[in-house]
A and B are shown apart, each in its own frame.
Chain A
């Protein structure tokens, strides 16, 4: 299954993407699988440095630009082929 991963600010991962998006092959339709695949794809440890709790403290994972995923959905099947996963730094404020 292929999904599109977009970063709102690619430099938060040290410019690991040349574009601000990549197409990512995932074996299972879960967020956990997407993050593991992203780490392998980029060979970048930025994401893997955090435990599950810290990942959700640090980033927003947004499905198809509409639904912000929660840590309870980390290992739940959520993706369909062609879905978009947007990763944004968690800030929220005024």
Chain B
């Protein structure tokens, strides 16, 4: 297997190709695996994430641009300005396959443009082009203008105004999809890099080791999910179905994680969104097509259309801020994509402000005159606008809840719902304790996608059954989920297109794609997954993160969850036990450092 990295120096306006050593491909495979390796090797300890020394890297997965369905995701890897940790943010669409068509398994960008510019990458060269006229444009308009200039078939990753202003939770937008989390857009903005344009013209899909066998595997899989109810439902209405399910179980966070009951939840249910659907959307080669475009039909936001919102955005601009107007959710989703900010972080920032206002910790005077009552649409719209432009209170809130709460003081930290600075997604930790532990020990902060606990959400009994409210027996499950996810993200497999995709099928596909015998060994893949997670942890340890950072907001250990159906009264009674369980399962010592035998067994000794 020959893999190639494209290196770009924005300061010097130079680029060159570099082969990935075969040993690295064996150890880290591709996608997020290579991302973890290059992040650890190339991002110096202690650098400012918004300085030219930071690397901004893009990786497609091993199976990008192959006929394997659901493997078209790509990842951005960098040091996060929001958390100071390792960052990986995943996105769908066509950019990853476009890179693969050009034979690129990674793009490593260093330095910074003197004036706003963009990269045009095609089969012949990398062009360093000026973007003065694009600076200040929305993510949607930027893509429109660049497609007019180059070709309708190019793939574009761009930042919006929020990235330009270095909002610490700004995203990178591709089509209408987002590499949303951890402020990857701010890193791009700090480099004066408005966009990356990739033209796959005259490129070729990756050569497969056994095309015939690969084709049989993908066709069998496609047939097995064609009539599968999960796939059909995802195509029909995406993850909107989860809202009422999570609410029923007391897992849907309400009012900045204060409780678990939202009156009028029906108004933002799948049934309500089904009346607003316009069309669906799919990423490159995907047979699931889970993207849904919804249009507001009435009220003040009538006529607004957005791809999504998915469950997370329904949480962020629904339960989190005590809102049941789907129009406001769709409009907020649209604004976040238009300006290029993460919907989860933005929604949680709004919820944080509303709780501070409720408790009298912050006043309207400090909020530029905004009376931040729960669910008030004008407040939501104003705060989004102020944050992306960094005007007034928006300049403080653009730093995220952790930094904002410290600067505000007066006990505000207690109401900042984040882990390591990354705002929490839409699963109440007290009602799904493995999920919560997963947030706490994730190497990117409070993310549900670093090791989604399906055991708690959909009753998965692999590796075993768990009780979501129990105060022990979670650590091994969290470790298992993280490793499994890391394996999948070498591909890079989508969380929604994974119906009937087993580890065995992944292994078979990897082998038939590359001919590397080790890839047909499930233990080899599992070791690679663990290696990736451990190396990401080593990155954070080098930055000074320790056991004290692997924890949830204190609310979840001190306040029993009120008004949350069957989860009412639950809280973390002995969090340290769970943390010890995780450390043991992942091969870490009591301070969260990898034990020496793990370093040796995973062949990481020479790297660190």
Contacts and interface: CB of A to CB of B under 8 A. Distances in A.
A9 B249 contact: no
Contacts of B103: none
A10 interface: yes
A26 to B, nearest CB: 21
A91 B566 contact: no
B234 to A, nearest CB: 7
B230 A90 contact: yes
Contacts of B465: 70
B245 A8 contact: yes
A65 B565 contact: yes
B461 A86 contact: no
A11 to B, nearest CB: 4
Interface in A1-59: 6, 8-12, 50, 54, 57-58
Contacts of B239: 91, 93-94
A90 B425 contact: no
Interface residues of A, number: 27
A94 B452 contact: yes
Interface string B228-269: 111001100001011011011110000000000000000001
- Which of B242, B269, B425 has the largest number of chain A CB atoms within 10 A? B242
B335 interface: no
A65 B249 contact: yes
A11 B566 contact: no
Contacts of B250: 65
Contacts of B248: 6, 8, 62, 65, 86, 88
B245 A94 contact: no
Given A6-B248, A54-B229, A91 B449 contact: no
Interface in B536-571: 565-567
A9 B270 contact: yes
A6 B230 CA distance: 20
A9 B269 contact: yes
Contact of B242 (A11, A68, A91): A91
B311 A11 contact: no
A12 B229 CA distance: 11
B495 interface: yes
A41 B449 CA distance: 40
Contacts of A69: 459
Contacts of B469: 66
The size bracket of the interface on B is: 35 or more
Contact of A92 (B457, B468, B566): B457
Contact of A66 (B228, B271, B457, B566): B566
A93 B566 contact: no
A72 to B, nearest CB: 9
Contacts of A86: 248-249
Contacts of B270: 9, 11-12, 89
Given A60-B459, A68-B458, A90 B229 contact: yes
B566 A89 contact: no
Interface string A72-94: 00000000000000101111111
Contact of A64 (B229, B425, B454, B566): B566
A94 B230 contact: no
B423 interface: no
A83 B310 CA distance: 32
Contact of B244 (A9, A67, A68, A94): A9
A57 B458 CA distance: 10
Contacts of A8: 241, 244-245, 247-248, 269
Nearest to A57: B229
Interface in B437-469: 448-449, 452, 454, 457-461, 465, 467-469
A43 B233 CA distance: 23
Nearest to A50: B229
Given A8-B244, A11-B271, A94-B425, A65 B448 contact: no
B229 A58 contact: yes
Given A62-B249, A93-B495, A93-B496, A70 B459 contact: yes
6 contacts: A9-B241, A11-B274, A12-B241, A91-B242, A92-B458, A94-B310
Interface of B: 228-230, 233-234, 239, 241-242, 244-245, 247-250, 269-271, 274, 310-312, 425, 448-449, 452, 454, 457-461, 465, 467-469, 495-496, 565-567
Give the 7 A-B CB pairs with smallest separation, nearest first: A68-B459, A65-B566, A58-B229, A92-B458, A88-B245, A8-B244, A11-B271
